Structure 1
Amino acid sequence: MKKNILALAAILSLTVISCKKSESGNKSIIKTDSTETLVTDTNGKIDSISESSSTVDVNGKKIEKTDFVYKATDGTLVKVVFKNDPKESTVAITSNKKTFTLPKIESKGNETIYKKDDMTARVQGDSLHLEQGNNIIELKRTKI
């Protein structure tokens, strides 16, 4: 009986020692330079609703991506990513594991319009008005 307990204790101690996690990380990951972008409202105050913003310099061209979470009137949460690069500006709307990417077609005053096929997104302040055929969805930016 003592031999069984000693053998079990030895196996447990070897298991604990051999399962030590390495916190050094993966050395082969390439890190990109990114800076935090602050989103301000019309009064110049920092917008605390912003979830994530980054600016990446790729071959001398700056690409800015800003992620937000919007909430529909039925309570559904939607991830919205605004991407601005020298070639084009787009909005990617993700809900129910589906992503729709719409290019920017017009910007007038405080309203920006993105459109692709029969889907149109109108962004004004912290609201997003999404139209697809006869369906109209109202989204408001939210805090998580």
Structure 2
Amino acid sequence: MIKKIIAVCILSSLIIACKKEGNKEAVKSDSTTTEILADNGAVDSTIAYNTDINGKKSIKTDYVYRASDKSLVKVVFNYDPKNRTVSITNNNKTFVLEKSEAKVNETIYKKDDMTATVKGDSLIIHQGDNIIELERTKI
């Protein structure tokens, strides 16, 4: 008799547990987007994102660019809204430029006499009379 009561209790608790939907308010999906906006409020198309297998976006921050002379340049973007910068490293020298202006298809960074313009996969650096054109690699 006791075995039947225990079996009924276990069976009924399993049935109740299977039917229970739980508190839907306890777990909420993260609906916030990680997309960075340009100064005019549109999505900044110069920023690339990684998307995992679940579709969650994360911001890709470091890239390798290639100059016309085939030399490689490391470029790291900092998308912190309070301090948006780009760091450009080549030949063990790093230049850090601050965001000056952002449009939908173009972001401009400046420091002293150096200006870097990002348009899609290209990065154009103006320093004095020198113009250096870089193209993002697939590395």
Give the alignment's Cα RMSD to 1 decimal.
2.8
Equivalence for 2:81: 86
The one-letter code matched in structure 1 to 2:104 is G
Q: Deviations over 1:87-112 (max 9, x none)?
A: 12000000000000000010112000
Equivalence for 2:135: 140
Equivalence for 1:116: 111
Q: 1:46 to 1:114 in 2, by over 3 A?
A: closer
Distance 1:106 1:114 in 2: 7
Instruction: Answer yes or no: is the 8 Å Cα contact 2:50–2:60 preserved in 1.
Output: no
The one-letter code matched in structure 1 to 2:69 is D
Structure ID, larger Rg: 2
Q: Secondary structure at the match of 1:85?
A: coil
Structure 2 residues not aligned, in runs of 5+: 1-33, 35-44, 52-57
Q: 1:65 to 1:101 in 2, by over 3 A?
A: farther
Q: Secondary structure at the match of 2:61?
A: strand
Moved over 6 A (4+): 45-48
Higher strand share goes to which structure? 1
Higher relative contact order (CA 8 A, sep 6+): 2
Aligned length: 90
% identity of equivalent residues: 66
Equivalence for 2:62: 67
Give the alignment partner of residue 99 of structure 2, picking from 98, 104, 128.
104
Structure 1 residues not aligned, in runs of 5+: 1-36, 49-54, 56-63
The one-letter code matched in structure 1 to 2:98 is P
Distance 2:49 2:61 in 1: 14
